[in-house]
Structure 1
Amino acid sequence: MTARSVRTKLHPRNQHLNGYDFELLTTQHPALAAFIIITPAGTKSIDFSDNKAVKTLNQALLKAHYNIDFWDIPEHNLCPPIPGRVDYIHYLADLLAADNQGQTPTGRQVKVLDIGTGANLVYPLTGTHEYRWHFTGSDIDPAAIKIAKQIAQFNGLKITLKQQKNAAHIFQGIINSKDLYHLTLCNPPFHASQADAVKGSERKWKNLGKTPHSALNFGGKNNELWCAGGELQFISSMITESAAVAEQVIWFTSLVSKKEHLATLEQALSQQPIAEYKIVDMAQGQKVSRFIAWSYFDKSTRQQICAEFE
């Protein structure tokens, strides 16, 4: 494992490093103007407790920065914060660059699998624009796959979408025998139960200075928010299952929301014949996040594989 450094800002290549340009955003997406508020400090913002405002902000961000002309999801689906999501993409690009003589591989020859892509399709949309990678998105929810396909088709993007039909598996049934991916990525379900998800929702509302409400400001269906055992069990299962497709993926990765889960996950990794793993810290304002990455290939082999993709 390599040394970790504390992050205090978004990735240097993140287009949102210096905050939101509301003049640009409202010019590109006039509907956002109705949700603009003035903060006590005299700056423009939106009410992040208003899920319609959050969704409209996302539409503006995707249009202004990522050339996504159409993006819409049902109210009950997860509406992710764009800056933090795209940060993950940029750090994944750095992960590949480290195996490619410091040069970030771009273009459709780079294959990326997004586990649990959701109806929002945010990682493939932003990653396709930033690096032109070829994304495959998987999800257990057929309705999410249908909506994601519509978004990709409307925007003329060639994104492959697959439904995971067996809830007991993550990679099996998605990664076929002839597939080879540079990366897998995942934003796993955070909570361990529906009750935990409700409590988390209440905490978010209180943190926003609002009375607890039944709806999350960022939305989210059950399968997007929780699974048995929460993120720890999900990522642990991913680590175990990754061994079966070890030679078909250069880097497996997943976000890890809770820092206290890292020790258990490192122990799970130690039980697999991996060559290397990394924990990469990220940050968005005061919030610190991270992802864990592991590879069954040593560095020289990874470099050879990357060279073959050129």
Structure 2
Amino acid sequence: MANHEKLLSQVSNPDFEFLAAKYVELRSFLNSSSSVRGFDYSNPLAPYKLCSVLAKEYFDLDINLSPSHLCPRIANRLDYILWIYRLLDGTELVNEKLVGLDVGTGASCIYPLLGCAVFPDWKFYATEINPESIIQAMENCKRNEIKVGDRIIIMPVSVDDVLFPTNKFASTPMFTMCNPPFYESSKELAERTRLKSSSPKTPVLWANDSELYTKGGDLEFTRRMIDESLELKGKIKWYTTMVGKKETLISVVAKLKEYNIHNYVIHEISPGKVTKRWAVGWSFTDYHPRRQDARVEGSNLRSLNPANISELMIQVPNNVVRSSSNSKRLKGDMFAKLLSILREIETEPYFSVEVKSEKNIIVKFTFATWTRSFRRSGLGSNRVSSGETIISVEVNQQALNLNLWWKYGSNYKLFESFSGMLKTKLALDTTNI
């Protein structure tokens, strides 16, 4: 993950002098008098050259970009790809050979190419409606055949086709992703461009109509995805899409709630940039990503976040920390106490522990063996279990805190109950350390 963050930082904040020294074609776009890191974003060709150079330098990709098509921003696309990786990490399937679906891949075929370059085991289906974009996407895949092999399949489709044509795939995708046309018409785009504050990092927008416009804009496009996902449900683990407008994000979340899809996530793409973009994902499985990958922190959007928080922190009481003369021993004893508590509620075959490291474990239950109702039943190991996990929690000690990650389960109250039980017992026990 550290390498991923470094890679994202490098493409988000390019070292223009370093790149220009290595790539001659970039030098004409350097402007020593510019206040924006010495790069002339006002030149319409500048983003195309920069995209090609970043793709080559950091991903060893040879991408041909035509000014008649939309120029992808590498940082945004990589951020989206890495976010999906983290979502899949929560499903415990990230190390398998994953198949993704890029809906409307565009002429650059940037998502599949980046995904396959960063993750050698990933494969992609990529759909596209524009004939010129299909040809160029295929050419870009061919130019990078040594790097990506045959792991990308371009599929021509029509406007009236379903967005997720899984019946045409040899393998069902694990996830979907999409950069939909954001606008309904050129009039809407012109008005939004006029209202947007000017920025030296905002280049002239060149693209064909199919890349910019669709009936109902990105909201209607995303609604179609949600409707189709209701038919496929858990066949695809995570459905995701980028949205380009705040009002679209608000309406999409409302639509998900209307359909009782509560396992949804929101991610701000490359936060801090002038142009705001978000990614929205939803799943019909009971897997849950980490808190940072499920929620946005901006106060004006916080109300859109999922109701359930997938990570909670248990802290050692301050009076214990102040009174402890040996912080190192306190840290060791705390995790020992945790294991002791788990042994108290261990009732085979309803409980299992996977040790990931010295201070990191995953606990799984097929019955809530810590609850009063279980103890009062008196059935113990005689209780009939389906054998299916009802809750999985990863516990990781960080200094004098325990971080609890609700990785799997459909009942959030069970996670709250389990966390509360640990917090109560640890608070009582740690006072004796």
Distance, in Å, in 1 between the alignment partners of 2:214 and 2:59 is: 31
Cα offset for 1:144?
A: 0.6
Q: 1:67 aligns with which of 52, 60, 69?
A: 60
2:86 is aligned with 1:94 = yes
What's 2:47 paired with?
Answer: 54
Q: 2:277 aligns with which of 272, 289, 308?
A: 289
Q: 1:276 aligns with which of 250, 258, 263?
A: 263
Given residue 289 of structure 1, which amino acid in structure 2 is its aligned partner? Answer: R
Cα offset for 1:40?
A: 4.4
Q: 1:129 to 1:39 in 2, by over 3 A?
A: farther
Cα offset for 1:239?
A: 0.5
Q: Contact 2:179–2:242 at 8 Å: present in 1 too?
A: yes
Map Cα deviations across residues 108-147 of structure 1 (whole Å, 9 max, x no partner). x111111111001111121111122212211111211110
Pairwise CA RMSD of aligned residues?
2.9
Cα offset for 1:233?
A: 0.8
2:246 is aligned with 1:255 = no
Given residue 140 of structure 1, which amino acid in structure 2 is its aligned partner? Answer: I
Distance, in Å, in 2 between the alignment partners of 1:266 and 1:242 is: 15
Distance, in Å, in 2 between the alignment partners of 1:18 and 1:171 is: 31
Cα offset for 1:241?
A: 1.3
What's 1:153 paired with?
Answer: 142
Distance, in Å, in 1 between the alignment partners of 2:48 and 2:208 is: 15
Cα offset for 1:266?
A: 2.2
Structure 1: unaligned runs, 5 residues or longer: 1-9, 304-310
Given residue 67 of structure 1, which amino acid in structure 2 is its aligned partner? Answer: D
> Matched residue of 1:286: which SS?
coil
Q: Which has the higher contact order (CA 8 A, sep 6+)?
A: 1
Q: Contact 1:189–1:223 at 8 Å: present in 2 too?
A: yes
Q: 1:39 to 1:242 in 2, by over 3 A?
A: farther
2:161 is aligned with 1:138 = no
Map Cα deviations across residues 27-83 of structure 1 (whole Å, 9 max, x no partner). 443211121112444x74322122211111111101000101x32232110002111
TM-score w.r.t. length of structure 2: 0.59
Q: Contact 1:11–1:91 at 8 Å: present in 2 too?
A: no
Aligned length: 281
Distance, in Å, in 1 between the alignment partners of 2:205 and 2:54 is: 15
TM-score w.r.t. length of structure 1: 0.80
2:85 is aligned with 1:80 = no
Q: Contact 1:80–1:218 at 8 Å: present in 2 too?
A: no
Q: How does 1:1-310 map to 2 (within 5 A)?
A: 14-16=8-10, 19-41=13-35, 44-68=37-61, 70-100=62-92, 105-106=94-95, 109-132=97-120, 133-156=122-145, 157=148, 158=150, 159-167=152-160, 169-172=162-165, 175-176=167-168, 179-202=171-194, 207-208=198-199, 217-272=204-259, 274=261, 276-287=263-274, 288-299=276-287
Q: 1:177 to 1:40 in 2, by over 3 A?
A: closer
Q: 1:209 to 1:93 in 2, by over 3 A?
A: closer
Q: Contact 2:125–2:153 at 8 Å: present in 1 too?
A: yes
What's 2:349 paired with?
Answer: none
> Matched residue of 1:170: which SS?
coil
Given residue 294 of structure 1, which amino acid in structure 2 is its aligned partner? Answer: W
Q: 1:24 to 1:121 in 2, by over 3 A?
A: farther
Greater shift in the superposed pair: 132-141 or 261-270? 261-270
